[in-house]
Amino acid sequence: MTQDEMKKMVAHAALEYVEAGAIIGVGTGSTANHFIDALAGIKHKIDGTVASSEATAERLKGHGIAVFELNEVSDIPVYVDGADETNKYLHLIKGGGGALTREKIIAAASNKFVCVADGSKLVDVLGAFPLPVEVIPMARSYVAREIVNMGGQPEWRENFITDNGNQILDVRNLEILDPVKMEAQLNNIVGVVTNGLFSIRPADVLLLGTEEGVKTIT
Ligand code: 5RP
């Protein structure tokens, strides 16, 4: 099975978590895109969605699925999104697509976070994938120096602006043995909007695509 087939398989499996009459939080990326396409098949069952990026909102609207602003919505029973890395505790690295801040906001506002990922995303220790950090543009160099002091190697994701008008530093070489501590420490640097560690609010369910089928990890 290809990586994309695995992504499609877990995206379809996530439909099981979609409740009738609910507003569904929808993530960003190729796995989330498969979920959006699958959701289109049951769109009459739901009241609508909240999107974690402009790209996701466009794709949802293209399928005729209603997209609400988060401020208009008080209850999101489930949020479905992919990940760049996950450990067995369902701590994640996200933000490869640059949507980490809106993703983290919707994850925080949701009752259940269902992460959908192909098997290659499961790792023992987070950090082989460069950790994205969204920064206010004027703070980029300052934040980069602070991250170097922490032992990281930040690289500016040039020619990329987030949906919030900010910039991204991709950080290599961080030994993320304590994701909760690292997430808080990075968010404490003035000028950081948020970072791609999702460990203070981890996923609740991981649907992992494997050759043997979908593995559910909680
Ligand atoms: C976007 C994300 C994505 O969930 C992450 O990059 C995984 O993407 P894909 O499903 O394409 O492998 O965090 O900001």
Q: What is the SS3 assignment for 109?
A: helix
> To which H or E segment does residue 155 belong?
strand 153-156
Q: What is the pLDDT along the chain (218 residues), one digit of tens a residue?
A: 999 999 999 999 999 999 999 999 999 999 999 999 999 999 999 999 999 999 999 999 999 999 999 999 999 999 999 999 999 999 999 999 999 999 999 999 999 999 999 999 999 999 999 999 999 999 999 999 999 999 999 999 999 999 999 999 999 998 899 999 999 999 999 999 999 999 999 999 999 999 999 999 99
Q: What is the SS3 assignment for 213?
A: strand
Q: At what angle do helices 3-13 and 30-40 cross, to 10 degrees?
A: 50
| Ligand 1 atom 2, closest CA | 95
DSSP state of 3: H
The catalytic residue among 103, 134, 146, 183 is 103
Q: Tell how far the Cα of 158 is from the centroid of ligand 1, in angstroms.
A: 19
Report pLDDT for 175.
80
Ligand 1 in reach of 30 Cβ (< 6 A):
yes
| Ligand 1 atom 5, closest CA | 83
Structure-token match 């999107």, residue found: 51
The rounded distance, in Å, linking the Cα atoms of 73 and 176 is 34
Q: Tell how far the Cα of 137 is from the centroid of ligand 1, in angstroms.
A: 23
Ligand 1 in reach of 28 Cβ (< 6 A):
yes
Report pLDDT for 165.
98
> To which H or E segment does residue 34 belong?
helix 30-40
Q: Tell how far the Cα of 30 is from the centroid of ligand 1, in angstroms.
A: 7
- Torsion angle of C-alpha atoms 99, 133, 116, 81, degrees rounded to 10: -30
For residues 14 and 115, the answer to whether their CB atoms sit within 8 Å is: no
Q: Which two tokens stand for residue 142?
A: 């300052």
Q: Tell how far the Cα of 52 is from the centroid of ligand 1, in angstroms.
A: 11
Q: Is 85 a catalytic residue?
A: no
Largest distance between two CA atoms of the chain: 52
The closest alpha carbon to 98, from 44, 27, 146, 153, belongs to 27
Ligand 1 in reach of 209 Cβ (< 6 A):
no
6, 31, 162, 207, best to mutate for ligand 1 pocket (most atoms within 8 Å of CB): 31
Q: How far is CA 59 from CA 17, 73, 110, in A?
A: 20, 20, 21
Q: Which two tokens stand for residue 95?
A: 């933000």
For residues 35 and 11, the answer to whether their CB atoms sit within 8 Å is: yes
The closest alpha carbon to 79, from 53, 108, 51, 114, belongs to 114
Ligand 1 in reach of 208 Cβ (< 6 A):
no
Report pLDDT for 28.
98
SS (H, E, C) 44-66: HHCCEEEECCHHHHHHHHHCCCC
Ligand 1 in reach of 27 Cβ (< 6 A):
yes
